[in-house]
Amino acid sequence: MQKFSVYKIVNTKSMEIYYGYTNNFIRRFEEHTVYIKNKNHPNHKILEASIKHHWTDFKIEEIEKFTLEKEAKMKEEELIIKAFNDPNYILYNEKIPTRSGENLMMSVEETLAKKFFNYKRKNSLNKSELTRQIFEYYFDKTNQKITWTDEDIKGKEKWHIGVRINNKLLKKIDGFSKKKKSNKNVIYHTAMELFFKKNKT
């Protein structure tokens, strides 16, 4: 049962944004709405914006559901860090996660996800270490084609895989993503498929 939700609050006038997670989205939605309406939000940035803007200017949306709290927290942190490093975003979040790496939450097609966890178990690896091996194998190849698309993943059963990526590898992934104009999740699927063709599970 997926009971944890990652959500966002967007100011449609200024396009400022806040990310959060909760175990009860409906209750959290109502709490934020009341705070904004009454101009007494505990987040000082949202409070200032609620004084300046009408409460109907704020849109609260659920982004994704998760089974485990740590998965939701990792996704929340991933979105905050991504927005913080993007000059096109202005964040309402007052606390920005800082670390030597970055948490990523991948939504992986079920067949590949099963291979991932089988290989992880057989080789006594944690998820982050196996993900590092998968990406490094892919980047070591001279011909780095992308064989998956968003459409290939869309609509299929997916498992969430939360991993920690060190900054050096993350920089390589980000650079490759921009070069190929493709998102990390699509690249991850491609790299996984190649890795598990070589390393049968």
Secondary structure (3-state) at 182: coil
Higher pLDDT, 75 or 35: 35
36 CB contacts (<8 Å, ≥6 apart)?
A: 46, 50, 55, 58
What per-residue confidence (pLDDT) applies to 98?
Answer: 67
Q: Where are the domains of the chain?
A: 4-84, 101-198
Secondary structure (3-state) at 170: helix
- The pLDDT confidence band at residue 62, using thresholds 50, 70 and 90, is very high
Say how many C-beta atoms besides its own lie within 10 A of residue 152's C-beta. Answer: 13
Element (H, E) at 163: strand 158-166
What per-residue confidence (pLDDT) applies to 145?
Answer: 87
pLDDT tens digits along 73-109: 888 988 998 888 888 889 999 988 766 567 788 899 9
Comparing CA positions, the residue from 111, 175, 171, 183 lying closest to residue 146 is: 183
Task: Please tell me the pTM assigned to this model.
Answer: 0.62
Looking at domain 4-84, which of 3.30.110.40, 3.90.1150.10, 3.40.50.300, 3.40.1440.10 is its CATH number? 3.40.1440.10
Residue matched to tokens 């993350």? 170
| Distance between CA atoms of residues 4 and 62, nearest Å | 10
| Distance between CA atoms of residues 108 and 110, nearest Å | 6
What per-residue confidence (pLDDT) applies to 2?
Answer: 66
Is a pLDDT exceeding 90 seen at residue 68?
no
Longest CA–CA span in the chain (Å) reads 59
What per-residue confidence (pLDDT) applies to 11?
Answer: 96
Comparing CA positions, the residue from 105, 106, 150, 41 lying closest to residue 16 is: 41
pLDDT tens digits along 146-187: 999 999 998 889 898 988 888 888 888 989 999 989 999 999
What per-residue confidence (pLDDT) applies to 81?
Answer: 86
